[in-house]
A and B are shown apart, each in its own frame.
Chain A
Amino acid sequence: ETGVTQTPRHLVMGMTNKKSLKCEQHLGHNAMYWYKQSAKKPLELMFVYSLEERVENNSVPSRFSPECPNSSHLFLHLHTLQPEDSALYLCASSQFGGNTEAFFGQGTRLTVV
């Protein structure tokens, strides 16, 4: 149990579908993150939320839409995805202020068909 829970663990969706990934952290952290892990590429930071406010968007296409309703929950809304968006999507949380590390969820394996 890492303290960061992601659902679903696996998702297959068509290019015209709309789906959402959910992340919940039970660690009392104040920052949450979405990372994308594709084969043979480094983990890519997608979005950062600090104190429920989006503070970073690393040039992610608009077909990915994050939402952070409170400090414990983070969503990634997906619509009209492309096959190259198939990847493992990892959520993480941390408590900024020095001497802290990010805790990761187990990820959602997304396949776009």
Chain B
Amino acid sequence: AQSVTQPDIHITVSEGASLELRCNYSYGATPYLFWYVQSPGQGLQLLLKYFSGDTLVQGIKGFEAEFKRSQSSFNLRKPSVHWSDAAEYFCAVGLISNFGNEKLTFGTGTRLTIIP
């Protein structure tokens, strides 16, 4: 079965600083990979996704992520964070089941705090 590990429960960075959130996955084949963001009291919004092709993917809000097969990682990065980036970030692995639908397995999330 697939699994996702987000080793950092909580990260604090200064506004304007760079950010990297770690994600490692366990899956037998090349998975579909996602990063979602959740603001307090809200649902999940997709930041970016990787299905195939270029291993560096660009997302919304200035985020990017790089798929590294050799490390089973899909880390999320942003060169300069804004106060509005404070939220919870979830990495997820998706696979297509026998029924054709998509099953997502999520990590436990990383809470990002931004300080002035």
A-contact 0/1 string along B97-113, CB 8 Å cutoff: 10111111111110000
Known: A42-B106, A98-B96. A104 touches B45 (CB 8 A): yes
Docked complex Cα distance between A16 and B96 (Å): 38
| Secondary structure class of chain B's binding surface, majority of residues | strand
Across-interface contacts of B100 in A (CB, < 8 A)? 31, 50, 96-97
A99 to B102, CA, bound (A): 10
With A55-B97, A103-B46, A105-B43 in contact, is A48–B90 under 8 Å at CB?
A: no
Q: Considering only CB atoms and an 8 Å cut-off, how many residues of chain A contact the other chain?
A: 30
Point out the residue from A31, A42, A90, A99 that lies within 8 Å of B44, measured CB to CB. Answer: A90
A90 adjacent to B103 (CB under 8 Å) = no
Q: B46–A101 contact, CB under 8 A?
A: yes
- Beta-carbon contact of A45 and B108 below 8 Å: no
Chain A residues with CB under 8 Å of B4's CB are 42
Interface residues on chain B, size class? 20 to 34
The interface residues of chain A lying within 8 Å CB-to-CB of B109 are 42
Contact A98–B43 (Cβ < 8 Å):
no
Which chain A residues (1-51) contact chain B, with CB distance < 8 Å? 2, 4, 6, 31, 33, 40-43, 45, 48, 50
A82-111, CB < 8 A from B: 90, 92, 94, 96-107, 109
Residues on B with beta carbons closer than 8 Å to the beta carbon of A48: 97, 99, 101, 103
Q: Are B108 and A96 in contact (CB under 8 A)?
A: no
A62 to B103, CA, bound (A): 21
Within the complex, what minimum Cβ distance (angstroms) separates B82 from chain A? 21
Question: Which positions in B face A, CB cutoff 8 Å?
Answer: 4, 34, 36, 41-46, 49, 51, 90, 94, 96-97, 99-109
